[in-house]
């Protein structure tokens, strides 16, 4: 079985990645970086999601010597000039919870017309395998809009206030199967 390290300590991301990868690859063991002793904390110093994903994948690959996947993702709200953007996880502060980040977003958008709340989740995933001299980055986005109320209990982050384009439910109201399509 092939081992790949997932450069995160976020249990939600580990579960989400494992669920998606299990459907695609049968002989893959996804190992969270947090399973390694003394794994370094990697600062996200990039200016884009892609740069941050690559920074994390490179650092954890050097530490573990195993192929490493890393992602960086976040919510981009057009009416807020792209905020929270690459600061999505720490929008309300370095130690902010998901609920605190959502609360700050709701305060920021309270006076903006719902018709102008176009947004998108952006994600960059980097794969680094120094043994194979491989660095790969892929990017994607899910368009939609933010709403001014929290709805749903599935997911994490901004899922309770994000409605994907073409749907009437927030990401937090979708099943894992619906969300991963």
Name 127's bridge partners.
Answer: 69, 136
- Provide the 3-class DSSP secondary structure of residue 52: helix
Catalytic residue among 71, 72, 98, 159: 72
User: Quick one: which of 38, 39, 37 has its CA closest to 8?
Assistant: 39
Longest dimension (CA), the chain: 53
3-state class percentages of the chain: helix first, strand second, coil last, to nearest 5: 40, 25, 35
Distance CA 98, CA 80 (A): 18
- Per the annotation, the verdict on 72 as an active-site residue is yes
Residue 91 · residue 82 · CB < 8 Å: no
CA atoms within 13 A on the CB side of 7: 32
Point out the residues that are catalytic: 72
């Amino acid at each position: 079985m092939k081992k790949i390290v997932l450069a995160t300590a976020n249990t939600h991301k580990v579960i989400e990645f494992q669920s998606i990868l299990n459907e695609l690859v049968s002989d893959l063991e996804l190992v969270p970086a947090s399973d390694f002793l003394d794994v370094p904390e990697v600062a996200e110093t990039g200016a884009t999601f892609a740069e941050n994903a690559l920074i994390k994948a490179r650092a954890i690959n050097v530490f573990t010597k195993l192929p490493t996947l890393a992602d960086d993702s976040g919510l981009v709200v057009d009416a807020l000039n792209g905020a929270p953007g690459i600061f999505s996880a720490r929008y309300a502060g370095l130690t902010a919870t998901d609920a605190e980040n959502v609360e700050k977003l709701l305060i920021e958008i309270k006076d903006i017309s719902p018709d102008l709340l176009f947004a998108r989740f952006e994600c960059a995933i980097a794969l680094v395998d120094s043994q194979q001299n491989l660095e790969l980055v892929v990017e994607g986005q899910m368009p939609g809009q933010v709403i001014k109320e929290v709805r749903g209990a599935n997911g994490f982050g901004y899922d309770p206030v994000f409605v994907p384009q073409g749907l009437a439910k927030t990401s937090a109201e979708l099943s894992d199967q619906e969300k991963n399509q």
